[in-house]
Amino acid sequence: MAQIFTPYADAWVRVFLFGLAATPALVVGGGYAITRSPYVTGQHLIHLQPIPFSHEHHVGFDGLDCRYCHFGAETSRWAGIPPTEVCMTCHSQLFTQAPLLEPARRSLATGTPIAWRRVRALPDYAYFDHSIHLAKGVGCTTCHGQVDQMPLTLQAEPMTMGWCIDCHRNPAPYLRKPEEVFADSWSPPPDQNEEGRKLMAHYQIDTTHLIDCSVCHR
């Protein structure tokens, strides 16, 4: 009598059923991994710029304060991308003929802004205000990373909704004293949890509604 099924038929059926059962988990897990990957979040990616501006040189070596170039950070939603005139305040005297700075010289001569590419671009449906975060003791490097060590600027954090919510739920680990907000070399002290709770009281931070949808989606 002829054999209908091969000796391995049962094994293949088991593999098929296992694969069928695992497919939803693989699809969901794969989708989750992709949405958290640098390909989507932009974390750790470097964008080519018209001029390869080095924060490491200007901030780390020359000691420029963040507010010299990003002068809107303390008073408005946007930190601001510095206009060419800010760059040429120094470079009309320093490295005036450097080939690297040709786009800046051309921009100043023609009045055409330098087409900088945004390193961090939040979606339009997410509301973010630089000034309130700085006023409440959240330092620049908490979100932007150690820019004083970046030859080319990259996005240090994922900037996802979950990442923001974690801080809104418990901001204490990230808060600094007012005089330390713009410090590039800041690191949390050993008693940061206790210090953070004191700073929450100092800044009058109430987390009761900090994770309400309307806080970031207006």
pLDDT value, residue 5: 61
CA distance 218 to 207: 18
User: Which candidate, 43, 205, 65, places its Cα nearest to that of 140?
Assistant: 65
> What backbone phi and psi angles, to 5 degrees, belong to 136?
-100, 10
Encoded tokens for 78: 């946007």
Cβ(134)–Cβ(186) below 8 Å: no
Encoded tokens for 158: 């994922």
Instruction: Look at residue 153 and tell me whether its pLDDT is greater than 60.
Output: yes
pLDDT value, residue 1: 53
- 84-91 and 102-110 are packed helices; what angle lies between their axes, rounded to 10 degrees? 120
CA distance 16 to 144: 47
pLDDT value, residue 3: 62
pLDDT band at 35 (very low <50, low <70, confident <90, very high): confident
Q: Name the average pLDDT for the chain.
A: 91
The predicted-structure confidence for 58-114, as pLDDT tens digits, reads as follows 999 999 999 999 999 999 999 999 999 999 999 999 999 999 999 999 999 999 999
CA distance 105 to 112: 10
pLDDT value, residue 43: 93
Q: Which residue has the higher pLDDT, 127 or 13?
A: 127
Instruction: Look at residue 9 and tell me whether its pLDDT is greater than 80.
Output: no
pLDDT value, residue 30: 74
pLDDT value, residue 121: 83
Q: Count of CB atoms within 10 A of residue 12's CB?
A: 11
How much of the chain exceeds pLDDT 90, in percent? 75
